Amino acid sequence: MYVVESKGGAIACMLLALFFLGTWPAIMTLLERRGRLPQHTYLDYTMTNLLAAVIIALTFGEIGSSTPEKPNFIAQLSQDNWPSILFAMAGGVVLSLGNLSTQYAWAFVGLSVTEVITASITVVIGTTLNYFLDDKINRAQIIFPGVGCFLIAVCLGSAVHSSNAADNKAKLKGAGYSPTLNGAITNEELRNLEKGTGIIEEAKAGTAEFLLELEKRRAIKVFGKSTIIGLSITFFAGVCFSLFSPAFNLATNDQWHTLKEGVPHLVVYTAFFYFSVSCFMIALILNITFFYLPVLDLPRSSFKAYINDWNGRGWALLAGLLCGCGNGLQFMGGQAAGYAAADAVQALPLVSTFWGILLFGEYQKSSRRTYVLLFGMLFMFIVAVGVLMASSGHRK
């Protein structure tokens, strides 16, 4: 099998993973804003996410000769390594729950702020756990200041969300709509919105008309709902994300000595395969359930409706491939340089914010205060990712 051994190779994996993991959320958000049901999108996504893991395992996991210490992917499938497999599958479950949750949080909180909060929680909890699981191979005097930078960034991200929500409320009020305390508009205005009354086609990003037109098109209706719902979903997703990397770390390095003597550790490709299988299974169960028992006032669907829904399916499949490849690259880099340092890919909000501004017009026509907070948030992320990469060690 192919093993990333150099520090430079590990950092290259992290940077490429950073781009992939920051791009796929933008694709999913685009589809929701065009009206595609998130249940349909996530099922398409999870299929190619699993496909990416299988491709990586059958290529990188089969390159070169197999040895007793480092068996190839197929050779390891028949070994007695169930404790490690269960750790890998537990990591896949929490990642799937986190990704599924963020799909709904993006509609309420926005792409940029959702990614900032979840990534920061992931780093503060997950990186700390990985530091101790990796026998402290990453330099503490560097890595913990990096964690601190992420903690500052999540505070700034919350402030950006609050400031931008106030800006949007002022825009709606200035356009003659009557926002309530939670940022919604009145029932009469909602009825007009559904009929298309008062909506200007091709509205410019950042205007009240743009916000209203977006609400009419999108699959998840957010007007009339408290932003606390979105923030609660976001924090839940962040906790889930903070656990998947430590679980994967335990699966590949067996720090708790759960394997029988003489049984080799799971190689990163075998662990990633089982990780992705459990990720696929939990997504399959939950999303088919959401067809018939939808959440957040989404319309009911069916498996037949899903099969016939080809609107945006290609984009959803691409999102799954990007996420699968990104996770695989993150784990490959983490096995070489330490999973705590590999958590530098949690700076993916840098990429997501770029797409959010470019594709969705986030923060267009916002106040100066919002722009200052946004700049501060992105600056702290840039510092944080540099610090975490500088803390990279080398696993013996």
Each residue's pLDDT tens digit, 229-259? 888 899 999 999 989 888 988 998 888 889 9
Q: What is the pLDDT of residue 336?
A: 58
Q: Extract the tokens encoding 161.
A: 């969300």
Query: Which helix (DSSP H) or strand (DSSP E) does residue 132 occupy?
Result: helix 128-133
Tell the burial category of 232 from Cβ atoms under 10 Å away from its Cβ (0-12, 13-18, 19+). middle
**Domain spans in the chain, listed from the N-terminal domain onward:** 80-391
Q: Distance (Å, rounded) from C-alpha 201 to C-alpha 213? A: 8
Torsion, Cα 46 59 80 279, to 10 degrees, reads: -10
Name the 3-class secondary structure at 137: coil
Percent of the chain with pLDDT over 70: 81
Q: What is the chain's length?
A: 396
The yes-or-no verdict on residue 98 having pLDDT over 90 is yes
Q: Identify the CA nearest to 155 among candidates 383, 377, 378.
A: 377
Cα 189 to chain centroid distance, Å, stands at 34
Other Cβ atoms less than 10 A from the Cβ of 239: the count is 17
Q: Identify the CA nearest to 392 among candidates 13, 1, 2, 122.
A: 13
Q: Identify the CA nearest to 87 among candidates 250, 318, 284, 222.
A: 250
Q: Distance (Å, rounded) from C-alpha 179 to C-alpha 309? A: 35
- pLDDT band at residue 352 using 50, 70 and 90 as cut-offs: confident
Lowest-pLDDT choice from 61-70, 322-331, 338-347: 338-347
Q: Extract the tokens encoding 125.
A: 């909890």
Q: What is the pLDDT of residue 203?
A: 65
Identify the DSSP state of 68.
Answer: S
